Structure 1
């Protein structure tokens, strides 16, 4: 007997929200999609006639499953080779009701890295309340804590997020200048434009997971970064085709060898519109979805 489509359609309506929630909690699109699939299986098996608040029920299931995955992920990330960065995600340049959950300012790489430093339940309480606008009573039920404890979790997270500085996308004209300056630096070896945009205490981080040629420790300071970009990256990038894309709600660069994606370069910009961090994703496990079709 064929299943009725009404509950499938109801789930599909919630899918962008659930994917956005799980991605912010986990920093991994692949893990987020697994969580959403698990949530669908739970929804498919549930007695839906007894569910009064569909959004709340789905959110609770996705949150709890994400927290389970996060516990395991945190253990594995302590053994990660080199620096860890969130999995990049391509975002639409124009928001629609379907894409809004996946492309707002709360999916920038800088924001996701701040979330990574929070305790799991702090992260969940903050995201559910401050990003998704849920009431504390509903969040407390999802996290299986008291409402008062839930408020404290979100408050602590909020303080940490604010103290981390700017996590919002840079103005579009700054993003354009930045990608142009970085491209000029790696293609010509002349980094004057990039130097003008770098904070003196900027950091360059690369994530390879030990599966690709890359630095293992962050480089700190504008002078060190400029030397690395002009002396090393300029030679490396000469072997690839570099294109501009919209990644995590900001302009970024994708380097490819033919159809295969070899690196994604994203940027975190401070409140003074200077680059605080350059992030290079080299781990092939995080790049496969960006490969072109042969």
Structure 2
């Protein structure tokens, strides 16, 4: 298990200690739940439980205790949310964390661990305990003893949970080691092509087998299937350009820490899109259009 950032704490400095750990706690809760508001609720609940702890000074590690509490609360919340998400209309994508530059708090918080929409899309298919075990091992680098204590299972059972989850992630998630500058360049080129409605330029930037996943949540029209193919997806963006003209506007943004775009129609945020690239062309697009999930983005920007 990584070394804790704070070994012991007292009543006098508990607020400062919690504030220092808050980005990490939010990062864990958000990766588990994929919703900003739910993650913030979990962190607030953890604060209340910690503040009410009878003997905080006797705890060996504020970080270890809080990380465990947040993860367990998130597992419980995710179990309850599973039923709601099974009834969700269309595809469920995480509520995006959007920033306009690399220096913003949204990007700096928990930068070391992966936060991409592509990963969270795959993690959504895992059972809550599988998701927690995978994140603790593969993203936060905890040992199997820690995971076993968290889940109340044997280390062997936890190894199996992580193994199954890792296989699923490797099978379903696009994985490319692309320098951030190259990723950004391709996204900016695509934005320029989409703005101008240059069909050939857009098509040249999309892989032949590119896939688009849209989340309208039943609130706005969205596709009931994953769209596939460079020609088909090019036609979609080209048709929007022709139909809406100057009503449509694209803006570069970091979506969950990676280059993506915001699309506005008549000045209103219509979608936040995470774009995955292999370094040469775009291979996947995750478009969040559900207005409920965009409300926090619009307010922040």
TM-score of the two chains, using structure 1 as the length reference: 0.87
Alignment gaps of 5+ in structure 1: none
Alignment gaps of 5+ in structure 2: 1-9
1:128 aligns with 2:143: no
Deviates further, 190-199 or 93-102? 93-102
Deviates further, 166-175 or 9-18? 166-175
Deviates further, 94-103 or 48-57? 94-103
Partner residue, 2:282: 275
1:110 aligns with 2:118: yes
Residue 105 (structure 1) shift:
5.9
Question: How far, CA to CA, are the matches of 1:281 and 1:149 in structure 2?
Answer: 35
Deviates further, 39-48 or 253-262? 253-262
Q: Select which of 11, 33, 36 maps to 1:26.
A: 33
Question: How far, CA to CA, are the matches of 1:33 and 1:237 in structure 2?
Answer: 39
Q: SS at 1:251's partner residue?
A: strand
Residue 292 (structure 1) shift:
5.1
1:139 aligns with 2:172: no
Question: How far, CA to CA, are the matches of 1:203 and 1:259 in structure 2?
Answer: 27
Equivalent residue pairs, number = 291
Structural mapping, 1:131-210, within 5 Å: 131-167=139-175, 170-210=178-218
Q: Deviations over 1:216-236 (max 9, x none)?
A: 332122111111111135534
Cα–Cα, structure 1 residues 264 and 96, in superposed 2: closer, same or farther, change >3 Å?
closer
Q: SS at 2:98's partner residue?
A: coil
Q: Deviations over 1:75-95 (max 9, x none)?
A: 111111122111110258547
Question: How far, CA to CA, are the matches of 2:92 and 2:183 in structure 1?
Answer: 23
TM-score of the two chains, using structure 2 as the length reference: 0.86
1:119 aligns with 2:127: yes
Question: How far, CA to CA, are the matches of 1:261 and 1:97 in structure 2?
Answer: 21
